Each structure stands twice: as structure tokens, then as C-alpha cells.
Amino acid sequence: MTTAKETRSASLRTAGAVFLTAALTSISAYAVEVSDLYVMRRPAEAAAGASDEGDLYRVDEANGADTAIVGSWNGFTSIASDGGLGAYVVQHDSIWYLSFVGGNEGQRTLVSNAAWSGPTLLAYGAYTSGSTVVQSLTAWQGDRLYKVNPSTGAVAQLGTKAWTDQDAMVYLNHNNNGDGNDLFVVQADALWRVNVSTGAFAPVGGGDWSDTSAMTTDGTTLYVACQNHLYKANPSTGSSTDLGGGWYSTTAFTFFNGWLYAIDGSDLYRIDPATGSTTLLGTANSWPGINLMTFRNYNVGP
């Protein structure tokens, strides 16, 4: 004969099992975020021209711990994130897509084998038009800007302006103004906005952006390493706020998960974009040589 106490106990066990099942189901429904920095590094001797070796590292954004990615990474000159799954790189005079996803981490796919010799900068942007994702990949080589189709590798010159003296180039917000056409270029001591559909360009403000070494964006604001200082710049007016000095040799710069990250000299820093305060990540003098930096950020699961 079942007592009232036993009945209540059985009911509680059943209710507990139902709650646990629901909780586990709820937990499994959440996606797991995958996020890391990536640094391409050529050692100090490569910077001096004595070696063409190179390495690719996955770097923990919290503490700077790094893991080498197996592969051949020599000969790279530029990198541009696709927003989280991978990046476009210039290596051995060709443009490649480099995957950072799961088992495909470190795998490359040829995008364009046009003669991308010499210094080449890359910038990537994408925006949604209805149900279509429109991608823009721009290459700055010599004194010209080029549109590169990420799917076919087709190349077309962008406008007719002579863009001498390469400094820095970045897309803003990927879909700024809803058209994806905002490319920002620092050249000839000035900041320019370039329409990547037409090549039309216009100066932004009248500031002096000479000696710019790197530029990135958080989607609404430009961040520029210039004249040994770090500046926050308004992309509409060009007005800027000084976030502090001491940036004498910035070789890599990106915005990721709410923070700025920079390699200056041989050190990796996390930077508060509001105040400019810095935190050294990892061990000092860990990143000598020539560096490029990007990130991965995507979800795994439902």
C-alpha cells in the first residue's frame, strides 16, 4: 500500500526530473561562443630581411597565451577579418581566404592570384541587402585601389585617384548608412571616405594624420595609431580625441569583443577604447618583428 508520504516523494522526484530535463534542454539550446585573437608574426630577423620565415598563433584574448597553428606562414603582407569566421591575407603575391573555424582552422583557399607583389593592404566589408549578403574586398597596391570579388577573384580598379604613400585602410561598420560603401583611407596626411561602388572620395575633416601606422574600428568610431599617439576619430567629422601617447611602433591593431588590441614594439596590449588605459597581455617582449592581427568570433550550437 502506498502511503501519502511516498506519493509526495514520487511526485517530487518526477517534478525534479522534469525540471532537470528542461534545464538541460535549455542549456543545450544555447550556442557556445568561440572567440580568439590571431597573430601572424615574422621574427626579428625577417624584419631585417635575413629570413622569410613566419608563424601564425591563436592567442587567448584574456591572458595572451598563444598556440602555434601548423602550416607555412612565410611571405604574408596584409590581413583583413571577414567579421569572425576567418580572414583574407596576402601571401606569396596572392590573396587567400584563411579559415579559423573548427577543424578547418588554418586552411587556405586561393581567392586571387593576380600579381599582388609589393606592399598591399586589404580591407573587407559586408552588408545585407534584403536576403542577399553583399561583400566588398578592397586591395591597395602601389598607388591604386582595386575591388576584388571574394567569390571569383575578379579584379577591377576602383576609381582613378593615385593613392600614393600607403598608410591605413578599413571599412566602417560593414553596413554603415545601409549601403556598405564606406571605406576609410589614411593617405597623404589626410583621412578620406571612399565609395567602393564608384570610387568617389572626399576628405573627412582637416586633421593631420601623418605618420599613421595602423587603424581599426568598432563599427561606429575609428581608432588610429598616429604620431606616437592613439586617437579616437569621428568618421563623419574627422574630429578626434587623444587616448594617450607612447605608441612608438604599432605593428598590429584590431577591435574585438569590446576592446582594442595592439602590438607595439614587442608587446601585446589590451586597451580600453573609452580611456586608453592599457593592460599587458602575456610576457613582455613576446612579439618582436613584423606582426599582423585579426580575430575569430562565432557561435557553435543551435
**For the chain, domain boundaries:** 1-30, 34-300
Mean residue pLDDT of the chain comes to: 85
β-strands 32-42, 55-59: how paired?
antiparallel
Q: pLDDT-based confidence at 231, cuts 50/70/90? A: very high
Q: How far apart are CA 155 and CA 136, in angstroms?
A: 12
Q: Output the CA torsion sign for 247, 252, 253, 258.
A: negative
How many angstroms separate the CA atoms of 281 and 26, rounded?
35
Q: Inform me whether the pLDDT recorded for 49 exceeds 60.
A: no
Q: Is the dihedral of CA 39, 43, 46, 47 positive or negative?
A: positive
100-105 average pLDDT score: 92
109 or 289, which is more confident: 109
Chain centre to alpha carbon of residue 141 = 20
Given a cut of 90, is residue 202 above it in pLDDT?
yes
Strand partners, 283: none
Does domain 34-300 fall under CATH 2.120.10.30? My reply is yes
Task: Tell me if 121 sits within 8 A of 78, measured CB to CB.
Answer: yes
Q: Assign 10 a pLDDT band (cuts: 50, 70, 90).
A: very low
Q: pLDDT by residue (tens digit) across 111-152?
A: 999 889 888 999 998 877 778 888 889 999 999 999 999 999
Pair 271, 260: CB distance under 8 Å? yes
pTM: 0.85
Say whether pLDDT at 12 is over 70: no
Give the 3-state secondary structure of residue 180: coil
pLDDT digits 0-9 by tens, 79-89: 999 988 999 99
pLDDT in the model for residue 212 = 96
Q: What pLDDT does residue 198 have?
A: 87
**pLDDT tens, residue by residue, 242-299:** 999 999 999 899 999 999 999 999 999 999 999 999 999 999 999 988 889 999 998 8
